Amino acid sequence: MFGVIITGHGTFAEGMESAVRLLAGENEAIRAVNFMPDQSEEDYRETFSACLESMKEFEHILILCDILGGTPFKTAYLLCRDRKQTEIFYGVNLPLVLEICMQVISGSGNIPVPGELAEAGKQSVGYIEKP
């Protein structure tokens, strides 16, 4: 069974979680952890750690971060680098978050392949030329 933590700067995580709920429905396996401007890195680390602790029942946790190198990413990496059942994605967009969450919601039990998921996220970015 998989759990998902969405995290990022400001209300990025909360917004992504809200969009997933709107498009796919409620699911307790999906959580959001915001890193707010008035929050210290230590406070954020405690909040993120508490979220991880609350998800102990999940065999595998996928962490979805807004950007590489930011406090949410660094915190997730430092807290999870030795956890074999945790994968971290960065630079996520709504199509990628939705794809991952739909796999979790479907309860297929299949381990999502990180490289394939990252490629799916890349493919969702494009540009429409105006005539």
Per-residue pLDDT of the chain (131 residues; tens, 9 = 90+): 889 999 999 999 999 999 999 998 888 899 999 999 999 999 999 999 999 999 999 989 999 999 999 999 999 999 999 988 899 999 999 988 988 888 888 776 565 666 777 777 777 777 788 88
Domains annotated for the chain, with CATH where assigned, are 2-123 (3.40.50.510)
Phi, psi of 15 (to 5 degrees): -65, -45
Number of Cβ within 10 Å of residue 46's Cβ equals: 13
| Residue 63, H or E segment | strand 60-65
- In the block, tokens 């979805």 appear at 64
**Are 55 and 71 within 8 A, CB to CB?**
no
The answer for residues whose C-beta is within 8 angstroms of residue 10's C-beta and 6 or more apart is 34, 35, 36, 37
